[in-house]
Amino acid sequence: MFEYKNNELYAEGVRVKNIVDNVGSPVYVYSKGHFKAQFEKFNKAFSREHVIAFAIKSNSNLAVIKTFASLGAGADIVSKGELFRAIKAGVDTSKIVFSGVAKRDDEIEYALENDIMMINVESEDELYNVNRVAEKLNKKARIAFRVNPDVDPKTHPYISTGLKKNKFGVPYEEAYDLYLKAKELKNIDVYGIQFHIGSQLLDTTPIYDASVRVADLMRRLTDKGVEFRVVDVGGGVGIVYDEKTDKEPDVNLYARQIEEAFRDFDVKLVLEPGRFLVGNGGILVSKVIYHKTNGQKNFLIIDAGMNDLLRPSLYKAYHKIAPMKKTGSKAIKCDIVGPICETGDFFARDYEIEDVPNGNFIVVFSAGAYGFTMASNYNSRPRPAEVLVSGDSYRVVRERESLEDLIKGEIL
Amino acid sequence: MFEYKNNELYAEGVRVKNIVDNVGSPVYVYSKGHFKAQFEKFNKAFSREHVIAFAIKSNSNLAVIKTFASLGAGADIVSKGELFRAIKAGVDTSKIVFSGVAKRDDEIEYALENDIMMINVESEDELYNVNRVAEKLNKKARIAFRVNPDVDPKTHPYISTGLKKNKFGVPYEEAYDLYLKAKELKNIDVYGIQFHIGSQLLDTTPIYDASVRVADLMRRLTDKGVEFRVVDVGGGVGIVYDEKTDKEPDVNLYARQIEEAFRDFDVKLVLEPGRFLVGNGGILVSKVIYHKTNGQKNFLIIDAGMNDLLRPSLYKAYHKIAPMKKTGSKAIKCDIVGPICETGDFFARDYEIEDVPNGNFIVVFSAGAYGFTMASNYNSRPRPAEVLVSGDSYRVVRERESLEDLIKGEIL
């Protein structure tokens, strides 16, 4: 839903220039239309009973969460803060699943008090802790184990999570024993099974492979009297960052494969898409401050930094970058860098882009996921505003931080 | 100033356990005594007139800045937000230098209005912009050029900044011409020269080498009538992260070398230490939540994450980690990881540490620099509290964020 008309970028029906003129720079701009379209594409792919639990960590703005909640989505949360956000945004708590390796007692309590769908338990220590907290509250905790199917998602080492050497989940061999132990615990309701093998998967076959392995485990456990009511297949469905090399996953195929893998079980499916729903529904708009040449290298210096969008620095992630207004000036090859005093503060290196004069704007695409959520105040920079566009109108859904916000809570 | 007494960690005269019991976990704890001792060590090393401009980006807590300001320090700032902090903390603005490649007009205005010592200009575009903004304000802007002496600091690619291919500074050959151009600008007062070749230097010889090159340039420019009143040699003096491999730089040697390099010039020296002053004056205390074994790998899962301390994830930086209370239990080899749903969320890998039971605390050392300043709310986690210890007492200098703080400025 970001398109050039007469060489100017529009977010749905809104000229992006209007937004930046009014709200300032840098600014995140989201397209509600894109969010809805992605949700519907994903939702329609499944024919069995399912819950789409939006992975809030990808974009946790309240207005974004609410957008999905009003379409019927639940939430995949990983902290008390994310549950707080989900509740504020009106997510039906019976559609919330809670993952994460380090759930504290107060987080487990908060989840049980709000009667969420289930807690995805990631270790034996956590199992006994959930049981203990539930006992204290006189409740029965619905749980799934996050099972580690040990399927290599062939992805970046930092975002591959389903391998034995990673901190996530319970080893496949151990899960069998843990389910039998859990069944005996008074304050545990063995409710489902979960897995998640990695992020930004463009080929979803590894998810199918994992599903088959998990279904095998379920069969063995069903024989022992474990009743599964939910299978949560995690997230990880990727998006196109680079049009030259990436191809959007076929969600219809993905859905068919998952439904096929679990055809023997009368379960509700839970899906945890995050990036797929929001990634290409967001851009970061930034002003060009200076041009500069150091030796043979050109630099386009912009007013956004790694504090605003960390992905290029942290993962060396590729983002498409283009002028907000195409003027037909000749292309330059340059590093696009920010104001932060670190060599690692860059958005692209040796990137070919139509030259953009100082004072004009550039757009970093595919910034809807893991953009603002990872923003910091590094170098004492207030975090940018977030804007949600819907049709011909837009509104600020998070105000730009002020200098006073930077020192909130500090006591001289 | 962090020491074990009877196997318990103390920050100066305060038992760290008392702090964490009262303030909660995770928490940053700083030692004012360490800050002062490092400042004095650095300060006494110089015999010529000098200003120690504390690099605020390393630790921008107001109480920390104030600690140095009251010892006579100035500030090295890189943004409007940092200038705001410096002023709030009572730094003498005549001791403030402003670096950074992307200074916006409003930042330049703010600096000129507050009459700071000088603006370190990093490109020709910026020179003309500073002149233009100064003209608008009817002021004369004191400037230095940040000159790139192109000396390899033999350090991590992300924190080496003095090379030609980096975004920082003005190439050595170009600087000569720029000084002559600047001299002719009506609203520019050519005041000094600056360079900065990289961070965490344990061998300061590259700084001496750079100084010699910069002094040569100054001689050529002095012949053309440029009068230098200040030489700003940047920062970059490192600290010991790993006691087994690192050796603290000899600041006396460092000072002698710099004074020797500029012996021909009647200038005030500006030094920009950051990490050296605060790095080992801070720790991050975190609670062990769970133990876990995945295959052959052990995990110690703690309640702090990469959102609290990014350095291990971003730079694969080493931090010493130890129990807050040594109990003599046997050592384990483990990954020490946090709650964030990313494989990259770790503090150490395959690390040998005396085992710490769930519910007890571990300490991440050398967290005083680039710790809290890089913290984010990723995974909707409130940022930790900061505590400053002085002698036998301590106080919270920044409160732990609340859930409500997470959604400040968001509009449903």
CATH number of the domain bearing residue B152: 3.20.20.10
8 A C-beta contact, residue A52 and residue A273: yes
Could you list the residue range(s) of the whole structural domain that residue B345 is in? 2-30+280-406
8 A C-beta contact, residue B73 and residue B53: yes
- Tally of domains in chain B: 2
**Confidence at A156, pLDDT banded by 50, 70, 90:** very low
Domain membership of residue B46 (yes or no) is no
**Residue B118 sits in the same domain as residue B254:** yes
Cβ of B410 and A398 within 8 Å?
yes
Instruction: For residues B122-130, give the mean pLDDT.
Output: 98
Domain membership of residue A285 (yes or no) is yes
pLDDT at A162: 56
8 A C-beta contact, residue B44 and residue B37: no
Comparing CB atoms, the residue among B57, B63, B410 nearest residue A379 is B57
Instruction: For residues B218-227, give the mean pLDDT.
Output: 98
Digit-coded pLDDT (tens) for B255-283: 999 999 999 999 999 999 999 999 999 99
**Residue B242 sits in the same domain as residue B326:** no
Minimum distance, in Å, between the CA of residue B368 and any CA atom of chain A:
14
Q: Which of A131, A88, A139 is nearest to A113 (CA)?
A: A139
Q: For A129, which residue in chain B has the nearest alpha carbon?
A: B290
**Residue A273 sits in the same domain as residue A288:** no
Among residues B250, B271, B292, which one ends one of the domains? B271
Cβ of A290 and B159 within 8 Å?
no
Cβ of B104 and A303 within 8 Å?
yes
Of the residues A341, A361, A402, the best mutation for testing chain B's interface (the one with the most B CB atoms within 10 Å of its CB) is: A341
Minimum distance, in Å, between the CA of residue A211 and any CA atom of chain B:
20
Cβ of A57 and B297 within 8 Å?
no
pLDDT at A249: 96
Q: Is A311 labeled as ligand-binding?
A: yes
Residues of B in contact with A305 (CB under 8 A): 102
**Residue B340 sits in the same domain as residue B304:** yes
**Residue A328 sits in the same domain as residue A195:** no
Domain membership of residue B67 (yes or no) is no
**Number of helical H runs and strand E runs in chain B:** 12, 21
Domain membership of residue A50 (yes or no) is yes
Cβ burial, residue A332 (10 Å; 0-12/13-18/19+): middle
Q: For A60, which residue in chain B has the nearest alpha carbon?
A: B380
Minimum distance, in Å, between the CA of residue A295 and any CA atom of chain B:
6
Of the residues B167, B289, B311, B407, the best mutation for testing chain A's interface (the one with the most A CB atoms within 10 Å of its CB) is: B167
Q: Which residues of B232-265 are buried (b: 16+ CB within 10 A; e: fewer)?
A: bbbbbbbbbbeeeeeeebebeebbebbbebbeeb
The Cα-based distances of A247 to A200, A203, A205, A250 in angstroms read: 11, 9, 14, 9
**Residue B228 sits in the same domain as residue B318:** no
Q: Is A341 a catalytic residue?
A: yes
Instruction: Give dist(CA B317, CA B340) in Å, integer.
Output: 18
Domain membership of residue B65 (yes or no) is no
8 A C-beta contact, residue B228 and residue B222: yes
Digit-coded pLDDT (tens) for A267-325: 999 999 999 999 999 999 999 999 999 888 999 999 999 999 999 999 999 999 999 99
**Residue B160 sits in the same domain as residue B122:** yes
Q: Reply yes or no on whether the pLDDT at A159 is more than 60.
A: no
Domain with B377 in it: what CATH number?
2.40.37.10
Residue B173 carries which DSSP code? H
Domain membership of residue A410 (yes or no) is no
Among residues B237, B271, B305, which one ends one of the domains? B271
Residues of B in contact with A286 (CB under 8 A): none
Residue B410 carries which DSSP code? B
Residues of B in contact with A63 (CB under 8 A): 410-412
Cβ of B129 and A290 within 8 Å?
yes
Residues of B in contact with A89 (CB under 8 A): 412
Digit-coded pLDDT (tens) for B45-93: 999 999 999 999 999 999 999 999 999 999 999 999 999 999 999 999 9
pLDDT at A252: 98
* Catalytic member of A341, A403, A411, A412: A341
Minimum distance, in Å, between the CA of residue B263 and any CA atom of chain A:
30
**Residue A119 sits in the same domain as residue A243:** yes
Minimum distance, in Å, between the CA of residue A384 and any CA atom of chain B:
11
Residues of B in contact with A406 (CB under 8 A): 81, 84-85
Cβ of B301 and A164 within 8 Å?
no
Digit-coded pLDDT (tens) for B377-402: 999 999 999 999 999 999 999 999 99
* Catalytic member of B3, B164, B296, B341: B341
Comparing CB atoms, the residue among A81, A294, A403 nearest residue B81 is A403
**Confidence at B327, pLDDT banded by 50, 70, 90:** very high
Cβ of B292 and A125 within 8 Å?
yes
**Residue A223 sits in the same domain as residue A343:** no
8 A C-beta contact, residue B187 and residue B249: no
Cβ of A399 and B380 within 8 Å?
no
**Residue B361 sits in the same domain as residue B265:** no
Residue A325 carries which DSSP code? B
What count of CB pairs under 8 Å joins A to B?
284
Instruction: For residues A396-405, give the mean pLDDT.
Output: 98
pLDDT at B412: 87
Q: Structure tokens of A191? A: 């409710």
Among residues B218, B244, B271, which one ends one of the domains? B271
**Residue A272 sits in the same domain as residue A287:** no
ipTM over 0.85: yes
Q: Reply yes or no on whether the pLDDT at B164 is more than 70.
A: no
Domain membership of residue B88 (yes or no) is no
Q: Which residues of B are annotated as a binding site?
A: 236, 272-275, 311, 315, 342, 370
**Residue A74 sits in the same domain as residue A158:** yes
Q: Reply yes or no on whether the pLDDT at B156 is more than 50.
A: no
Cβ of A101 and B337 within 8 Å?
yes
Digit-coded pLDDT (tens) for B166-200: 899 999 999 999 999 999 999 999 999 999 998 99
8 A C-beta contact, residue B141 and residue B187: yes
The helix-helix angle for B172-183 and B205-223 (nearest 10°) equals 40
Q: Reply yes or no on whether the pLDDT at A152 is more than 90.
A: no
* Ranges B153-157, B213-217, B260-264, B273-277: which has the least confidence: B153-157
